[in-house]
């Protein structure tokens, strides 16, 4: 039995508009407003962009056998579960009997089995069907062919990635040289201390664009701007489907947190250089992960498009295990700080979403300093253009 074939929706965008985004930054125009508001565009993105490598979260959420997370991508639900050997595996979250969702919670832990709530078929942590009540005497029913349908899954630098297409280039190639930075911050060894989920009334790309620039910081984030100058830091470049750069902490700040940016007694992540201990690195891993590397913790946002103008955002904070285990560990200074900044960002993303749907609004121009906004949009535009070219080459 194989999964149902899926037909690819047409991408109804004008290639001339996309070509304007693909120009060098100084001459480029932003993605066309339709890309932010068209339901058909989001359907196409879910089918083509979000069926390649997508970050579901961090390894520590699925490191224990039976620990699971579920994530919804358009019509698909994917279940990632920690295996007996500590290696996570991903499956379509659909029972092989009558198709019920096997797991409804966004995260949790089972002991040894995943049991469908409908007629109690149960599956091992390796996806194999281990019990199927009332199926005795059914002709040619082979349990070994009725396990959960596996989805390609990989771990790169502590990020758990899935590829619903099964055909994307290796995850290591996708994350590319960003791996060096993730490894330097020991992301795979860190553990989660906090999580907040948000619903944002904005397109997923608008949220990623917002993350990729700080020109709005003096006006929108006075608390953040007090801890790092909005024009500080450097661009970071390297191979892979990501973009980003650093910002430098002001002299009296040691991290991003309330209480004037002090670490609340937390030591820096093990092995960081003095330069790293004075910086915060911000990276967007295409398409849906925003990774912020701080001297003493890492914050990860994952973006989950729901509608053209609606995105669920999961924000998680990761610390050294020894720091978490220490007496009186309290991450609330880091969490509260970013919760404030997150909400400020969602507000302006929502304002922009309201604006781009205005009829007659033409795409705007980039500031010459919006290097990473353009870099992110280019990753989108290149995929749009490849599909539009492909469609135009197909004989009518």
- State the binding partner of 289 from ligand FES, Fe ion, none, CB within 5 to 8 A by kind: none
Q: Helices 39-48 and 371-393 sit at what angle, rounded to 10 degrees?
A: 90
Q: Is 98 in the site for ligand FES (CB under 6 A)?
A: yes
The smaller minimum CB distance to ligand FES, of residues 116 and 236, is found at 116
In the list Fe ion, ligand FES, none, the entry touching 55 (Cβ below 5 to 8 angstroms by class) is none
Binding mask 233-262 for ligand FES (x = CB under 6 A): ------------------------------
Query: Which tokens sit at 363?
Result: 């795409």
Using CB under 6 A, count the residues that bind ligand FES. 9
Q: By CB under 6 A, which span of 43-51, 95-103, 173-181, 235-243 interacts with ligand FES? A: 95-103
Which residues, other chains included, contact 199 with Cβ-Cβ below 8 Å and sequence gap of 6+? 306, 310, 311, 312, 313
Give the span between the Cα atoms of 152 and 182, in whole angstroms: 22
Under rule CB under 6 A, residue 97 binds ligand FES: yes
Applying CB under 6 A, which of residues 44, 50, 53, 121 lies at the interface with ligand FES? 121
- Write the CB contacts of 96 (distance below 8 Å, at least 6 apart in sequence): 1, 121, 129, 146, 147, 148, 149
Q: Which is nearer to Fe ion, 121 or 346 (CB)?
A: 346
How far, in Å, CA of 204 to CA of 308, rounded?
8
For residues 120 and 237, which CB has a smaller minimum distance to ligand FES in the complex?
Answer: 120
Q: Give the C-alpha separation, 96 to 147, whole Å.
A: 7
Taking every pair of Cα atoms in the chain, the longest distance, rounded to a whole number of angstroms, is 74
User: Between 333 and 345, whose beta carbon lies closer to Fe ion?
Assistant: 345
The correct pick among 100, 131, 188, 341 for binding ligand FES (CB under 6 A) is: 100
Name the nearest CA neighbour of 243 among 159, 177, 188: 177
Nearer to Fe ion, 209 or 345 (CB): 345
The answer to whether 66 and 109 are in contact (CB under 8 A) is yes
> Which of 135, 379 has the CB closer to ligand FES?
135
Which residues contact ligand FES (rule: CB under 6 A)? 95, 97-98, 100, 116, 118-121
């Amino acid at each position: 039995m194989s999964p149902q074939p899926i037909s690819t929706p047409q991408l109804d965008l004008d290639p001339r508009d996309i070509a304007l985004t693909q120009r060098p930054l100084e001459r480029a125009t932003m993605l066309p407003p339709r890309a932010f508001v068209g339901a058909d565009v989001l359907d196409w993105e879910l089918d083509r962009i979000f069926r390649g490598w997508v970050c579901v979260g961090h390894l520590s959420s699925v490191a224990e056998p039976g620990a699971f997370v579920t994530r919804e991508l358009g019509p698909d639900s994917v279940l990632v579960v920690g295996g007996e050997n500590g290696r996570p595996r991903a499956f379509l979250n659909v029972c092989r009997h009558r198709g019920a969702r096997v797991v409804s919670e966004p995260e949790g832990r089972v002991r040894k089995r995943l049991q469908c709530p409908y007629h109690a078929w149960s599956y091992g942590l390796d996806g194999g069907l281990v019990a199927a009540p009332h199926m005795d005497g059914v002709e040619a029913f082979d349990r070994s062919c009725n396990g959960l349908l596996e989805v390609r899954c990989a771990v790169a630098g502590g990020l758990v990635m899935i590829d619903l297409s099964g055909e994307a280039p290796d995850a290591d190639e996708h994350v590319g040289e960003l791996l060096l930075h993730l490894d330097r911050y020991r992301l795979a060894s860190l553990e989660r201390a906090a999580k907040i989920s948000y619903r944002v009334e904005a397109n997923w790309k608008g949220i990623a664009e917002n993350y990729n620039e700080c020109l709005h910081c003096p006006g929108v984030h006075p608390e953040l701007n007090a801890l790092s100058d909005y024009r500080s830091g450097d661009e970071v470049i390297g191979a892979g489907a990501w973009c980003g750069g650093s910002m430098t902490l002001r002299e009296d700040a040691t991290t991003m947190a309330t209480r004037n940016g002090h670490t609340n007694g937390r030591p820096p992540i093990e092995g960081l250089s003095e330069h790293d201990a004075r910086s915060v690195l911000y990276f967007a891993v295409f398409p849906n992960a925003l990774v912020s590397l701080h001297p003493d913790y890492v914050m990860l946002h994952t973006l989950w498009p729901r509608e053209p103008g609606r995105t669920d955002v999961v924000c998680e904070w990761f610390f050294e295990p020894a720091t978490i285990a220490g007496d009186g560990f309290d991450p609330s200074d880091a969490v509260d700080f970013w919760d404030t900044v997150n909400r400020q960002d969602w507000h302006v993303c929502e304002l922009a979403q309201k604006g781009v749907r205005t009829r007659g609004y033409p795409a705007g121009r980039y500031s010459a300093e919006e290097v990473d906004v353009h870099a992110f949009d280019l990753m989108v535009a290149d995929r749009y253009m490849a599909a539009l070219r492909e469609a135009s080459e197909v004989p009518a």
